[in-house]
Structure formats: structure tokens, C-alpha cells
Structure 1
Amino acid sequence: MKAMILAAGKGERMRPLTLHTPKPLVRAAGVPLIEYHINALASAGFTELVINHAWLGQQIEDYLGDGSRFGVSICYSAEGEPLETGGGIFKALPLLGDEPFLVVNGDVFTDYSFANLRQPLSGLAHLVLVDNPAHHTQGDFSLQQGMVRDGADDQHCLTYSGIALLSPKLFAGCEPGAFKLAPLLREAMGRGLISGEHFSGHWIDVGTHERLADVEQLLAREH
């Protein structure tokens, strides 16, 4: 099974750090954020990785290379212009193949075990949901008996973690260009084709300087 790390974001809320450094290469405890993902994916048995990039993307390629020093093989999907999550994944599908693949946002920090997603996929996607963080209290989706629903009217919404198992068939009929992933997921939810799980371990969306500091504090406590 292949895995894709989404690394095309500009990280505008983390300026000035991201003016000259792409967000995935911002360091926490001396290690680039994306390196934590690569090591965790490698230890979970994912050896074929695809990474998309846009803003300062050449720096990502220069730092990670072909992935051999991490024990993986890395292919890159370079985006001339930002394609958003859906468009970025769609552009990378030729590199990902015809089978379900793992996808993870490059700017989250987590101790989720990616090995959990090395499983058959019955529908079009399997999402990892987390408790709502302080900056996203309304949540995204609800989880009912292992199936994910659009949670707009639900009092018990959870937040999409940015970690999922996706089928290429989710993108059937899509056209090249920029588009979001969420509408595709919601349409498939309406057809009962999205399963999910609730993860209650460490998960931080590293979108601000404050949350980067949270990651550093977490790492300091663990070491």
C-alpha cells in the first residue's frame, strides 16, 4: 500500500518561519515535521511514498531526496499552482496507482499508528476522526456505528484529523484543477460509503506558532 503526504500548503499563519522554509520542513525539537511522518510510515510498513508540494517545494525534494536514507522510496507531485487537497490528490493519482492509499496532512503531528490503516477498504474512504481542538470546536463529521456522516446538524461532531485511507474511485469524474476534498467525502457519506474511527491519542494541527510550541512541549515531556 502506498502513502501520500500532503505538503503543498503555504503556511501563511506561521510567517515569518515559512517565508523562506516550506511548512513541512519547519522543525519541532530539531526535526522537520514531515520527517516524523516519514519515519512513522516507514515503521508501519509503508515504503512507497508520494509527496506533493508547491510553495518552496524544491527545498522539500532537496532535503528528503529519494527517501533511501529513511528506508523508503519517495516520488514527488509538483504543483505549479496550489490545487487544494482534492486537486492535489487527483493530480498525484498516476503515482498512487489503482489501489486504496493512505493520505496524511503534512502539517499535523500525531502518534497515531499508521499500521492501523493497512486494511481492506470496503467503501470509498476510511477517516480518522479526533476530538475537536480549541480552534475548531464545531467539528466536521459524526461517527455512527463505524460509519461517518455529515455532521452539520449533529451535537457530537468530531474533527477530521487529516489522516485517511482513500480509494482512487472517490475521484471518479473529477477534472484537473483546484478543488476541495470535503465535498467528495460528503457526497460519498450520503451513499453510506465512508467508514471511520475515533482516535484519542496525541494529535496537533500545527497551523500556528502556538501549536508548534505545543508539539515541542509534548516531545520534551516524552523525552
Structure 2
Amino acid sequence: MTTEICALILAAGEGTRMRPATLTTPKPLLPVGGVPLLDRAFALVGGLDTAVNAFHLADQIVAHVGDRAHVEVEKELLGSSGSVGNLRGWIDGRAVLVLNGDAYLHGGDLSVLFDGWGGETVRMLGVPAGDEPYRFGRHVFAGASLLPWRVAGNLEPVMSHLVLTAWRPAEAAGTLEIREFAGTYVDCGTPADYATANALAGRPAIGRAG
């Protein structure tokens, strides 16, 4: 794989289902196993040139990130797709790894997204769907996707989501590749899921640390 790749960590959301905790702390700064989710996201993207978007309690995100990444403070919430579109100038022809800032990935890393990638397809990290209705084949989204520039460069800086502008269109065109995550994925969107993530973090990870 020779395609140049950057990363975007999505950290702008208001975390309404996690209130009251998120009234004073952005959800990506909530700790899992004593480590802020945003710091876990930085560990997952490794050495990639990285941007972080911010909106809700943006000053806390800016201060926490420091000089580790470019921070884009949005004037309004743009959703996952609009946030990529808003950073087209910064992405500047590169492919982009888009990672949810509230994703907890236990027992694995993101290498499966990059292995053998030719630079043209849309890739999505997935876990087996089980009974989940919002699926892609036999999988559901697991917090990260990889967009080639031909897709990222056409996204607009308006409120929208990647499921509508990138993933489903790629699925329909036969250019969506699901790469299965070997560990456990937790979307820390609710208090119950957040508690699950912390319980997992209290146990040794199986395989590579996430």
C-alpha cells in the first residue's frame, strides 16, 4: 500500500445520551480504564497525520489535544460526512481514516483496515451483526472507516453522515469492503455501554492491545 493516509478523529458530538456527564466533559474525554477515549483514539491512529474536529465544549478538546494534531473547531455540528468535507483542504488529496472519538476497541488494532488496501475502495471496520438491523451484509460498523480521496474529496461541509454519502453508495456500487475486527467493539454512546467498556478495560486484552 503506497497511498498516503491521514486520520480524522470525530470528537464534536454533544453526547446527549451520556448526560449529565457530558454537560461538563466532552464524551471523547471521558475515561475508559483510566484513559480518556480520545487518547485511546490517538493510540489507534498511531503516527498518521491527524485532525480532530470539535464543537461541544471545544475549548476542552483543543486544550487536551495540544500540538498532537490539527484541531478543527466547527461553527455548527456537521456530522461524520460534513466534518470530512469541512477538512477537504487539510486532507488535500490523501486518503483518510475516520475514527469515532467514542469508540472503544478492545483486543485489537486497526491494521486490518490497511492490509492489502489498493487505495480505491471504501473500507469499514466491522463486527458480526448478530440481531442488529442496521447492518452491512453480515456486519455492523465498528467505529472506523477508510475513505479514498475520490470519495473524501467529494464530500460537502454540510450536515450529513457517512452512512448516506459514502458507505451505502459504495455498498451499492460494489466498492465497500468490510474488514472484521478481531476484538470487541463498544460504542460508548450510553451509560450502559460506557460501563461495559470500562469493565472490559479492567481485564487483560486478548491479542494486541487496543
Fold similarity call, TM over 0.5? yes
Classify 1:94/1:121 alpha carbon distance in 2 versus 1 (closer, same or farther; 3 Å).
farther
Listed as ranges, the matches of 1:92-103 within 5 Å are 92-103=87-98
Structure number with the bigger relative contact order (C-alpha 8 A, sep ≥ 6) is 2
| Worse overlay, 169-178 or 48-57 | 169-178
Q: For 2:111 and 2:8, how far apart are their aligned partners in 1?
A: 14
Structure 2 residue runs of 5 or longer lacking an equivalent are 206-210
Q: Give the 3-state SS of the residue equivalent to 1:221 in structure 2.
A: coil
**What letter corresponds to residue 34 of structure 1 in structure 2?**
L
Q: For 1:174 and 1:47, how far apart are their aligned partners in 2?
A: 21
In structure 1, the residue matched to 2:60 is 59
| RMSD (Å) for aligned C-alpha atoms | 1.9
Task: State the percentage of identical aligned residues.
Answer: 29
1:13 corresponds, among 8, 17, 29, to 17
Indicate yes or no: 2:5 matched with 1:23.
no
**What letter corresponds to residue 51 of structure 1 in structure 2?**
V
Q: For 1:75 and 1:10, how far apart are their aligned partners in 2?
A: 20
Q: For 1:176 and 1:11, how far apart are their aligned partners in 2?
A: 21
Is the Cα–Cα contact under 8 Å of residues 14 and 208 in structure 1 kept in the other structure?
A: yes
Structure 1 residue runs of 5 or longer lacking an equivalent are 68-73, 143-156
Classify 1:172/1:49 alpha carbon distance in 2 versus 1 (closer, same or farther; 3 Å).
closer
Q: For 1:176 and 1:164, how far apart are their aligned partners in 2?
A: 18
Listed as ranges, the matches of 1:110-189 within 5 Å are 110-111=105-106, 112-119=108-115, 120-132=117-129, 137-142=132-137, 157-171=138-152, 173-184=154-165, 185-189=167-171
In structure 1, the residue matched to 2:100 is 105
Q: For 1:175 and 1:2, how far apart are their aligned partners in 2?
A: 18
TM-score by length of 1: 0.81
Is the Cα–Cα contact under 8 Å of residues 126 and 181 in structure 2 kept in the other structure?
A: yes
Q: Give the 3-state SS of the residue equivalent to 1:141 in structure 2.
A: coil
**What letter corresponds to residue 15 of structure 2 in structure 1?**
G
